[in-house]
């Protein structure tokens, strides 16, 4: 089941085990995700139901058929991106592994004022293999996407997530928990009577969150300031000083607890 892409669909699009894909969804599956006839993906209705679907190519476009409902869904009901400054040495291997176990959707490795070295292509490939292994081991349906490393400035500027947090070790910022709890819309909790997704929401209908975690020594003041300019909120992960390899795990543990606890 690993390595499948997800598509949010409106329950009204599903009839007789077929998904009536919109033009936008067909474009997204075919042009963005590069899927073709015969390829499988996961259709989600935003209410906690997931189905395994297979694409068929017809003259009129792509048609999707549901093959089975995914009974055990181990994915978070929110799309979480970890924007993590690269530590020295091999510390990032364990970050990728543990973040995957905790349900991360994407990881953006960033170079920062305190970690300038851009990793080799081999390293990125290695992280992708680790993510695939960890997704399988933790029985996830999805392998997180490991993006190409970029500079922190580009990452915060191009950030597409709706809710943006930057973790800062010192200072008097709000706890990430409080910020996440304030987002918690009932429609993202499993089992509640959520309204159906609207047309055109397939690309942004999920609650999307990005959490930026700094390198050893933390983000510089300038970095925090620039992130705030791009809509990030500075948050705390608690009283103690955490290492760069521990902070992402703490942040993702909180995301899991807040969105899965009910």
Binder of a copy of itself out of 35, 80, 102, 166 (CB under 8 A)? 102
C-alpha pair distances (Å), 180 with each of 18, 57, 176, 231: 36, 41, 6, 15
Whichever of 48 and 204 has its CB closer to a copy of itself, that residue is 48
At its nearest, how many Å lie between a copy of itself and the CB of residue 99?
Answer: 10
Answer yes or no whether residue 256 interacts with a copy of itself by CB under 8 A: yes
Whichever of 18 and 74 has its CB closer to a copy of itself, that residue is 74
Q: Which of 6, 37, 4 is nearest to 204 (CA)?
A: 6
Residue with tokens 């960033």: 110
- Cα 144 to chain centroid, rounded: 7
Task: Give CA–CA dist 229/82, Å, rounded.
Answer: 19
Task: Give CA–CA dist 95/78, Å, rounded.
Answer: 19
DSSP secondary structure letter of residue 198: P
At its nearest, how many Å lie between a copy of itself and the CB of residue 20?
Answer: 30
Binder of a copy of itself out of 87, 103, 105, 218 (CB under 8 A)? 103
Answer yes or no whether residue 239 interacts with a copy of itself by CB under 8 A: yes
Task: Give CA–CA dist 253/219, Å, rounded.
Answer: 21
- Give the footprint of a copy of itself on residues 34-93 (CB under 8 A): 72-75
Name the site residues for a copy of itself (rule: CB under 8 A). 72-75, 94, 97-98, 101-103, 137-140, 175-178, 237-243, 246, 249-250, 253-254, 256-257, 260-261
């Amino acid at each position: 089941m690993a390595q499948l892409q997800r598509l949010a669909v409106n329950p009204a699009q599903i009839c007789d085990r077929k998904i009536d894909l919109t033009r936008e969804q067909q474009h997204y599956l075919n042009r963005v995700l590069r899927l073709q006839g015969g390829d499988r993906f996961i259709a989600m209705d935003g209410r906690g139901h997931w189905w395994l679907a297979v694409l068929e190519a017809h003259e009129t476009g792509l048609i999707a058929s549901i093959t089975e409902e995914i009974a055990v869904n181990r994915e978070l009901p929110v799309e979480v991106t970890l924007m993590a400054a690269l530590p020295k040495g091999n510390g990032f291997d364990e970050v990728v592994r543990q973040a995957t176990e905790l349900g991360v959707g994407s990881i953006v490795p960033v170079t920062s004022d305190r970690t300038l070295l851009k990793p080799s292509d081999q390293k990125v490939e290695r992280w992708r293999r680790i993510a695939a292994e960890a997704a399988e081991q933790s029985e996830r349906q999805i392998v997180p996407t490991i993006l190409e490393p970029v500079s922190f400035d580009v990452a915060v500027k191009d950030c597409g997530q709706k809710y943006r947090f930057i973790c800062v070790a010192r200072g008097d910022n709000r706890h990430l928990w409080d910020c996440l709890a304030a987002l918690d819309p009932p429609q993202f909790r499993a089992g509640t009577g959520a309204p159906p997704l609207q047309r055109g929401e397939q690309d942004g209908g999920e609650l999307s969150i990005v959490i930026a975690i700094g390198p050893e020594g933390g983000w510089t003041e300038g970095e925090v300031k620039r992130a705030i300019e791009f809509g990030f909120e500075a948050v705390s992960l608690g009283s103690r000083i955490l290492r760069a390899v521990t902070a992402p795990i703490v942040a993702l543990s909180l995301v899991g607890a807040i969105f899965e606890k009910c």
